[in-house]
């Protein structure tokens, strides 16, 4: 029975629900500490029907647990999400409006109507949207509908960063120096920033998730930060109030998961390290942290619980801290909701946090004591986004997933996603594709599995950030645990450029490209083992080829014996073996004694190949000897003068245009503002000149590369 319980734990954590149900398992975890947790007790009554006021992966995540608890689910969706995965998974679905969030997922009237229509007894808000909206919680309570989260008082107290900081001080929680009032305008922002001392963090009082946050190092940046932060806060949370506090340079972002009930029981479920960030948004998280010792962990946990008790908190929540190099920690904020990165806490503790939230909301006491909570193994989470990591570490990408395969065959992998092949990534919502989680008995094992999972993750149709994720987890500083929230700009000072190939790796890539080219050529000559044309020449014994990578062309001599290709480049001969199923999205190859997992993203009759190798996509061209000789006569494409044309670096909506034809602009002057996935981005002139034409206006939807402004 103990073995069955442990197996069930991993089936649950890795998302293999159907296998669990077929096997008849009912138990969750037996840890090295000896406790076990009943995942589903059919005799424990909770709710008959629950509505999820969210979308995407978190809606799917909540539905999975509800199904196991025997709770029927209702999905809400915008018109563009009518075929979304969470809609298909739920027992019922209700459209709550058009695509813009203000008219659908933030539309309280429509959501309340959906609750009445479906007679849902409870609502789980997920994260973002209305998850920390006290007005929504109040309206639910007035209708007798249970909110799966804390009460209105806790949401108000902790959702407002100004009030939460005052409460934290009163609860004897370490806090960051700063101004505790609301900032009225840009002039006041500058005055307060000077009093605190630069650098300062300007951030939305009611916000979270990196929205409405800017670091200012001088007066100009303080004014600009006030403007953009207030606009983003209004767009994301319907509340443009801001606060300012001292920015702690080179901190770690470490958060404590708390869980409390309505019977004065409260636990801290250890920490999550969330320091790898871009634009104040987390990219990679892990649990536990390499940095904390037992004493610091206990002190942070106890302060987090003290804060939860101070506001009579009941549900799952997260207290976020900044931790300096001396292990001094400062309260940052409390998120009164389920956190995006909650799966890694589930992996090391064995608890299902969604189930715990539902039980607490129904009035049940917690089933565990603080001494029961383990740190069992290590878990790492990578946020896989539809974005271009080569642009500011990730500007959004949109499009349809033409091919999508999750790496669930890799051991101890969990993928929390809300998409499938054919799904659309739009400009209206967060560009997250999934949360990729790996677990191991130790950190090294978890990271090795993450590397394998990233190599086997197939995502086609949109640009994604797998190259960046893979580079980070393989970087020596990350492996050593030498990280801070400034990791990305410090490591990639000139921006992310992809994997830099070592000489041996470059050789491997070249011979793989040549082998793929030969395999394709040989396949095209035959059908079911028979030559397509009776006069086709017999198989070549050797191939004289040229392969281009970047600006360098290499002369190659290659041959084949069965499924093995022998390729000689620059006097060095390597052999490549594999199954060579060219219809497969992922190829497992052996280059001499090195195993490589590669993806051939595209290939054409001209010998052009696009290969994902070590996470990064490389473009190569393999040519026959004759084609290489003739290629020098091909005309070269004229490069566009990019200094005179401002193009959109991402898909989005135009929210501001600062110039008109005939205006003179200076280098660095703002031209327009593009909003994508609820983040605003200022586009500036790259040179001084006169505006010749403006090809956009406020409200326009633009695509990546669209021409916005032309200078003379």
Residues with active-site annotation = 333
Reported for 218-221, long-range contacts at CB under 8 A and 24+ positions apart, including other chains, are 219/190, 219/193, 219/194
Is-contact 202 223, C-beta < 8 A?
Answer: no
Give the pair of three-digit tokens for residue 210.
């990196």
3-class DSSP assignment, residue 440: strand
Rounded to whole angstroms, how far apart are CA atoms 571 and 569? 5
What's the N-to-C CA distance of the chain in angstroms? 77
Of 290, 318, 289, 323, nearest in space to 304 by CA:
318
- DSSP one-letter code for 199: S
Give the pair of three-digit tokens for residue 249.
């340079």
Reported for 44-47, long-range contacts at CB under 8 A and 24+ positions apart, including other chains, are 44/359, 44/364, 45/362, 46/71, 46/358, 46/359, 46/362, 47/71, 47/121, 47/122, 47/146, 47/358, 47/362
Of 85, 82, 86, nearest in space to 95 by CA:
82
List Cα–Cα distances, 372 to 31, 141, 353, in angstroms: 10, 33, 15
Residue whose tokens read 């002039």 = 187
Rounded to whole angstroms, how far apart are CA atoms 313 and 318? 11
List Cα–Cα distances, 212 to 96, 206, 426, 655, in angstroms: 26, 9, 21, 16
DSSP secondary structure of 162-185:
HHHHHHHHHTT--B--EE-S---S
Of 258, 277, 265, 252, nearest in space to 319 by CA:
258
Residue whose tokens read 């409260």 = 266
Rounded to whole angstroms, how far apart are CA atoms 213 and 416? 27
Rounded to whole angstroms, how far apart are CA atoms 257 and 269? 5
Could you give the angle at which helices 342-349 and 353-362 cross, rounded to 10 degrees?
Answer: 90
DSSP secondary structure of 322-377:
EE-TT--EEEEEEE-S--TTHHHHHHHH---HHHHHHHHHHTPPPS--GGG----S
Give residues with Cβ within 8 angstroms of 529, minimum separation 6: none
Residue whose tokens read 């290939």 = 603
Measured in degrees and rounded to the nearest 5, phi and psi for residue 306 equal -60, -40
């Amino acid at each position: 029975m103990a073995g069955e319980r442990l197996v069930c734990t991993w089936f649950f954590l890795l998302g293999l629900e159907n296998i669990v149900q077929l096997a008849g398992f009912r138990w969750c975890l037996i840890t090295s500490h000896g406790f076990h947790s009943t995942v589903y007790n059919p005799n424990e009554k909770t709710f008959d029907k629950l509505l999820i006021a969210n979308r995407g992966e978190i809606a799917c995540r909540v539905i999975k647990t509800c199904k196991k608890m025997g709770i029927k689910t209702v999905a809400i969706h915008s018109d563009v999400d009518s075929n979304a995965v969470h809609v298909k998974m739920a027992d019922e679905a209700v459209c709550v409006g058009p695509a813009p969030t203000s008219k659908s997922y933030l539309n309280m009237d429509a959501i309340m109507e959906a609750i009445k229509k479906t007679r849902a007894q409870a609502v789980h808000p997920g994260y973002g949207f209305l998850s920390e909206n006290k007005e929504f919680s109040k309206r639910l309570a007035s209708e007798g509908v249970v909110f799966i989260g804390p009460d209105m008082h806790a949401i108000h107290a902790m959702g407002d960063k100004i009030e939460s900081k005052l409460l934290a001080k009163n609860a004897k929680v370490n806090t960051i120096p700063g101004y505790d009032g609301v900032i009225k305008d840009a002039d006041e922002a500058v005055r307060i920033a000077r009093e605190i001392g630069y650098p300062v963090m300007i951030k939305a009082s009611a916000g979270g998730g990196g929205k409405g946050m800017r670091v200012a190092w001088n007066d100009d940046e303080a004014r600009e930060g006030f403007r953009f932060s207030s606009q983003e806060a209004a767009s994301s949370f319907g509340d443009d109030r801001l606060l300012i506090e001292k920015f702690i340079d080179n901190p770690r972002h470490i958060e404590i998961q708390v869980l409390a009930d309505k019977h004065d029981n409260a636990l801290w479920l250890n920490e999550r390290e969330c320091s790898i960030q871009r634009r104040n948004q987390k990219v990679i998280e892990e649990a536990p942290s390499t940095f904390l010792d037992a004493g610091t962990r206990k002190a942070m946990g106890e302060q987090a619980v003290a804060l939860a008790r101070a506001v009579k908190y009941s549900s799952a929540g997260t207290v976020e801290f900044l931790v300096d190099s001396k292990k001094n920690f400062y309260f940052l904020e409390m998120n009164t909701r389920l956190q995006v990165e909650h799966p890694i806490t589930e992996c090391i503790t064995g608890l299902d946090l969604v189930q715990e939230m539902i039980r607490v909301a129904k009035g049940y006491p917690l089933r565990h004591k603080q001494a029961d909570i383990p740190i069992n193994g290590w878990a790492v989470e990578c946020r896989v986004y539809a974005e271009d990591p080569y642009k500011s570490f990730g500007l959004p990408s949109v499009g349809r997933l033409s091919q999508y395969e999750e790496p669930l065959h890799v051991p101890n992998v969990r993928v929390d996603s809300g998409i499938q092949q054919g799904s659309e990534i739009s400009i209206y919502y967060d560009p997250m594709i999934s949360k990729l989680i790996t677990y191991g008995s130790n950190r090294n094992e978890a990271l090795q599995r993450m590397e394998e999972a990233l190599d086997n993750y197939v995502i086609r149709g949109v640009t994604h950030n797998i190259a960046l994720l893979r580079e980070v987890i393989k970087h020596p500083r990350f492996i050593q645990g030498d990280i801070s929230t400034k990791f990305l700009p410090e490591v990639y000072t000139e921006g992310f450029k992809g994997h830099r190939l070592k000489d041996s790796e470059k050789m491997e890539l070249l011979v793989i490209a040549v082998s793929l080219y030969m395999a394709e050529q040989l396949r095209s000559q035959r059908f079911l083992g028979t030559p397509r044309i009776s006069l086709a020449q017999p198989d070549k014994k050797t191939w004289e080829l040229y392969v281009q990578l970047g600006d360098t062309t290499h002369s190659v001599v290659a041959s084949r014996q069965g499924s093995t290709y022998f390729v000689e480049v620059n006097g060095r001969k390597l052999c490549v073996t594999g199954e060579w199923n060219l219809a497969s999205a992922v190829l497992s190859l052996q280059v001499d004694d090195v195993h490589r997992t590669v993806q051939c993203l595209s290939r054409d009759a001209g010998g052009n190949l696009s290969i994902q190798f070590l996470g990064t996509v490389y473009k190569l061209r393999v040519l026959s000897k004759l084609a290489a000789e003739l290629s020098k006569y091909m005309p070269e494409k004229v490069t566009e003068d990019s200094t005179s044309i401002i193009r959109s670096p991402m898909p989005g909506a135009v929210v501001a245009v600062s110039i008109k034809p005939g205006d003179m602009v200076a280098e660095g002057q703002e031209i327009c503002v593009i909003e994508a996935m609820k983040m605003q981005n200022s586009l500036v002139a790259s040179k001084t000149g006169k505006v010749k034409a403006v090809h956009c206006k406020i409200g326009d939807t633009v695509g990546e590369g669209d021409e916005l402004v032309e200078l003379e």
